[in-house]
Amino acid sequence: MLDKLTIKLFSSLIFSLIGRNKLSILTYHRVGDSSSTIVMSEVVFEQQLIWLKRYFNPVHLAEGLKLQEEGRLPKRSVAITVDDGYSDSYHTIFPLLKKHQLTATFFISTGGLKAGFLWDELVSYNIMNTSVLKFSYQGNNYNLSTKKERVACLTSFLSKFKYHSLVERDALIAGLLGKIGSLPIKGRFLNEEQILALQQAGMEIGAHTHNHPILLKESDDTALYEIKDSKHILEKIINEPVKYFAYPNGKYQLDFNFKHIEIVKEMGFQAAFSTDLGNFSNAEKELFNIKRFNPWEKNELSFTLRLALNFWK
């Protein structure tokens, strides 16, 4: 097994071949125990924070963007972002960031503040916890006898429901819950006090729409409402301008396009982020479609070298 010095030498070699310094922005979602399929264990998340400090240069997102625009960004600079706004952002992610003296930007879909969850958690929680073991839906039969079968069922429904408009998605979910029942969900999302506490502790608060739709599946008016409402709701909570926006799902030309970039600009955001893989190196061309990096590796070498290679893209 490679030691820390060898890993450092490998990553240093990669950085020596890179020309202009670039900013890599990591995307996290859920950390800890969750019914969601997009979840990372607390142990893996903390280990990645340790590796970030060991091999890279973690910076506050705003600082990293500013230094990049000014041409003063140090090599190996990385920033942390967390999407959606679930309660583990406060109860799990936030304490670990403080423990390791790191900061993050939290992109929050504000519809979850009132409901206590977003649509994916509504589907996830009910499939994973229903007492129904078999059901039929839209001509297909589903078996929920084992955890493996429930996860497979959940993955299938999340995929089927995602690329529909909000109205269509709500109808599909209602039809599913009519088959398996609807259980009460509590304490799954951030509340206003927790958002304010994050901001006052030096974390950045960003917008992520109101109901987390696929913007390309909505009318221009709905997209405008979704982007504008999330910004205004969050600004009332933190009593400061919300500067950054993350596109839901976040693939350019699949989930959003140039029309939504223009809306984001008109709303007064300073930058916006996709989930396309890559880094930030050109403010003039990329500021409202900044690529990010998905850090799923559990192995120190794989994590470090893959992130180092992300600076090369």
Per residue in 263-306, pLDDT (tens digit) is 999 999 999 999 999 999 888 899 999 999 999 889 998 999 89
List, for residues 199-253, the tens digit of each pLDDT value: 999 999 999 999 999 999 999 999 999 999 999 999 999 999 999 999 999 999 9
What pLDDT is attached to residue 16?
59
Q: Where in the chain is the domain with CATH 3.20.20.370?
A: 4-113+188-310
What pLDDT is attached to residue 21?
86
Give the pTM: 0.93
Confidence bin at 153 (pLDDT 50/70/90): very high
List, for residues 161-204, the tens digit of each pLDDT value: 999 999 999 999 999 999 999 999 888 999 999 999 999 999 99
Q: What is the DSSP string of the chain?
A: ---HHHHHHHHHHHHHT--S--BEEEEE-EESS-SSSSEE-HHHHHHHHHHHHHHSEE--HHHHHHHHHHT-PPTTEEEEEEEE-BTHIIIIIHHHHHHTT---EEEE-THHHHHSS-HHHHHHHHHHH-S--EEEETTEEEE-SSHHHHHHHHHHHHHHHHTS-HHHHHHHHHHHHHHH------S-B--HHHHHHHHHTT-EEEE--SS---GGGS-HHHHHHHHHHHHHHHHHHHSS---EEE-SS--BTTTB-HHHHHHHHHTT-SEEEEEEE--B--HHHHTTSEEEB-----SHHHHHHHHHHHTT-
Could you tell me which CATH class the domain 4-113+188-310 is placed in? alpha beta
